[in-house]
């Protein structure tokens, strides 16, 4: 101890003076080697395991000092790591001497080793590194919280993604850099802890980025109760209703307030989507960088990066995929059912069909598609435009099947409806520059299956409705037909779909059937 103290005083003015216990470890190691070479061969005459006894004694002496030191460390400093690494090396050297010396003993040196309670220097380093990781991860989470509160999701900054994402990725990178600069020999062993911590922080960022944006269900309006058509002069009857119409305001209030906040514009949604896409692609870069760090790490072995499993982020990539999916769907249904509700839900086919066709809706929709194409990342563009197409087809069907008493269709109107739907599909096809025709066909299957019902004559519709309802819900032709519930799975074989076509059928036979069978009212 005295020798180590004087060595430390002598090295005080040097750039990186060694801590006293590191000097002591080195000196004890040298003393043990000297003991083994010079004294033990002579002392063996009196004791069969002289070297073993000597190193066990030295081990206990140093052990008293190091245990006291370990109990007082609270953070990972270069000095602490230096001492612990020196202690670990000393212990391995002492144990090696004891084992070699006892090789001829009955128990292979076990008795001597029992006299050497481990320093647990490696465990102390591991605990300090875990504390370092926890502190860094906690700080990262606080940072995410603070910055997400200030994020405005403006499309003008940063090539269409959020500045907070750039910053959070930079901090993660710096954290990894700092980790691999720690003067330890266990980078591979504790790396999974750090990656799991960063992974949780990123997952938290993704959750914050999509929170409050709603989902598909947030924006779909509540369907009005079933009514039957009021027969007579369509233009006058529905014209009058439209003027005093108590329903549109009510519907408007039902549509899409997201947690009481409607401030998220289409572009802000697009920035959120771009941000998650950016994080998703950067994660792959980050994973490659981790492997490079490992290769350069003095403590890495081939198996540490050959399997590569623990170097991967597990939570955040699927969270990004799911977040992008949810945001694309939310913005699509928001555009169709909230932003354009005046031209779709409150305008399309209200009153006289010839004067309330789909053109205003298509114009507004095209304007939104242009904004999205210019804002959203190209790798997500097809996905979001496909979702908007799906939402617009859903909206079109809802108008036809659940549009309430302000809408009525005769068989002759079916041509107008089909032409309008073709115009809507053409918007997404864009003369071959838009979505592929197979994709449009796939998502328009339901509408194409339901549209022929609008040109089917009323008697055939009633007959088909009776048959399908009895097949589905049982009962006999004499008893009263059950009222089929709304499944939302529109199809020509779904009783509720057939019933809704009859409800909006503008003719005497349909109206009489609905009054007699279910006593449906003419207005809400």
At residue 82, what are phi and psi to the nearest 5 degrees?
-60, -45
**Which pLDDT score is estimated for 252?**
36
Pairwise CA distance, residues 158 & 162, whole Å? 7
pLDDT in tens, the chain (524 residues): 777 777 767 666 666 667 889 999 999 999 999 999 999 999 989 988 899 999 999 999 999 999 999 998 888 888 898 899 999 999 999 999 998 888 777 776 778 888 899 999 889 989 999 999 999 999 999 999 988 888 888 877 657 889 899 899 999 999 999 998 888 878 888 899 999 999 999 999 999 999 888 888 889 888 899 999 887 544 433 333 333 333 333 333 333 333 333 346 888 999 999 999 999 999 988 888 888 888 887 666 655 555 544 568 999 999 999 999 999 999 999 999 999 999 999 999 998 888 999 999 999 999 999 999 989 999 999 999 999 999 999 999 999 999 999 999 999 999 999 999 999 999 999 988 999 999 999 999 999 999 999 999 999 999 999 999 988 887 665 667 889 999 889 999 999 999 999 999 999 999 999 999 999 998 87
**Which pLDDT score is estimated for 241?**
35
Pairwise CA distance, residues 279 & 438, whole Å? 31
Two tokens at 512? 């009489």
Phi-psi region at 162: left, alpha or beta (left = phi > 0; alpha = psi -120 to 50): beta
Pairwise CA distance, residues 414 & 125, whole Å? 78
* Helix (H) and strand (E) counts in the chain: 23, 0
Helix-helix angle 316-334:187-210, to 10 degrees: 10
Question: Can you name the residues that pair with 261 across neighbouring β-strands?
Answer: 258
Name the nearest CA neighbour of 331 among 404, 276, 278, 279: 276
Q: Which residues contact 277 (CB under 8 A, 6 or more apart)?
A: 161, 320, 324, 377, 379, 380
Name the nearest CA neighbour of 242 among 168, 348, 136: 348
CA dihedral 298, 304, 309, 314 (to 10 degrees): -30
Question: Can you name the residues that pair with 409 across neighbouring β-strands?
Answer: 505
Pairwise CA distance, residues 329 & 388, whole Å? 8
Two tokens at 8? 């430390």
End-to-end CA distance of the chain: 96
Two tokens at 196? 């799991």
Burial (CB count <10 Å: 0-12, 13-18, 19+), residue 287: middle
Q: How many other CB atoms are found less than 10 A from the CB of residue 380?
A: 20
- The one-character DSSP state at 339 is I
Q: Give strand ranges (E) for 92-198.
A: none
Q: Are 157 and 96 in contact (CB under 8 A)?
A: no
Pairwise CA distance, residues 419 & 197, whole Å? 56
Two tokens at 137? 């991860």
Q: Give strand ranges (E) for 59-216.
A: none
């Amino acid at each position: 101890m005295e020798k180590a103290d004087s060595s430390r005083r002598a090295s005080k003015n040097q750039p990186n003076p060694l801590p006293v216990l590191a000097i002591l470890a080195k000196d004890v190691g040298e003393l043990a080697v000297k003991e083994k070479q010079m004294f033990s061969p002579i002392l063996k005459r009196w004791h069969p395991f002289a070297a073993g006894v000597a190193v066990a004694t030295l081990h206990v002496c140093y052990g008293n000092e190091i245990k006291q030191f370990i109990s007082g460390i609270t953070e990972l400093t270069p000095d602490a790591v230096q001492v612990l690494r020196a202690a670990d090396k000393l212990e391995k050297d002492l144990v090696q001497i004891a084992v070699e010396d006892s090789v001829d003993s009955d128990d292979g040196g076990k008795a001597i080793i029992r006299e050497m309670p481990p320093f647990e220097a490696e465990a102390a380093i591991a605990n300090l590194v875990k504390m370092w990781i926890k502190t860094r991860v906690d700080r990262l989470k606080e940072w995410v919280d603070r910055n997400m509160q200030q994020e405005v999701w403006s499309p003008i900054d940063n090539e269409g993604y959020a500045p907070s994402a750039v910053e959070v990725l930079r901090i993660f990178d710096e954290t990894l850099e700092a980790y691999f600069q720690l003067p330890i020999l266990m980078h591979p062993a504790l790396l999974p802890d750090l990656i799991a911590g960063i992974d949780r922080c990123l997952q938290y960022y993704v959750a914050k980025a999509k929170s409050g944006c709603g989902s598909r269900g947030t924006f779909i309006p509540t369907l009005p109760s079933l009514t039957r058509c009021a027969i007579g002069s369509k233009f006058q009857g529905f014209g009058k209703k439209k003027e005093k119409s108590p329903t549109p305001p009510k519907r408007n209030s039902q549509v899409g307030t997201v947690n009481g906040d409607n401030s998220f514009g289409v572009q802000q949604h697009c920035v959120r989507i771009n941000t998650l896409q950016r994080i998703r692609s950067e994660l792959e870069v980050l994973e490659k960088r981790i492997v490079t760090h490992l290769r350069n790490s003095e403590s890495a072995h081939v198996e540490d990066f050959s399997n590569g499993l623990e170097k991967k982020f597990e939570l955040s990539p699927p969270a990004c995929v799911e977040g992008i999916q949810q945001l694309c769907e939310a913005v699509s249904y928001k555009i169709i059912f909230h932003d354009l509700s005046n031209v779709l839900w409150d305008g399309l086919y209200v009153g006289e069909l010839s004067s309330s066709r789909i053109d205003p809706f298509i114009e507004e929709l095209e304007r939104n598609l242009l904004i999205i194409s210019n804002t959203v990342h190209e790798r997500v563009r097809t996905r979001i435009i496909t979702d908007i197409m799906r939402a617009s087809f859903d909206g079109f069907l809802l108008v036809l099947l659940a549009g309430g008493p302000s809408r009525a269709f005769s068989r002759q109107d079916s041509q107008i409806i089909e032409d309008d739907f073709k115009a809507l599909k053409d918007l997404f096809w864009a003369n071959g520059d838009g979505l592929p025709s197979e994709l449009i066909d796939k998502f328009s299957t339901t509408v194409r299956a339901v549209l022929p019902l609008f040109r089917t004559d009323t008697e055939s519709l009633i007959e088909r409705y009776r048959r399908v309802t009895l097949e589905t819900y049982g009962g006999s032709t004499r008893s009263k037909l059950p009222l089929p519930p709304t499944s939302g799975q529109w199809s020509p074989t779904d009783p509720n779909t057939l019933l809704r076509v009859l409800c909006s059928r503008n003719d005497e036979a349909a109206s009489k059937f609905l009054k007699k069978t279910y006593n449906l009212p003419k207005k809400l």
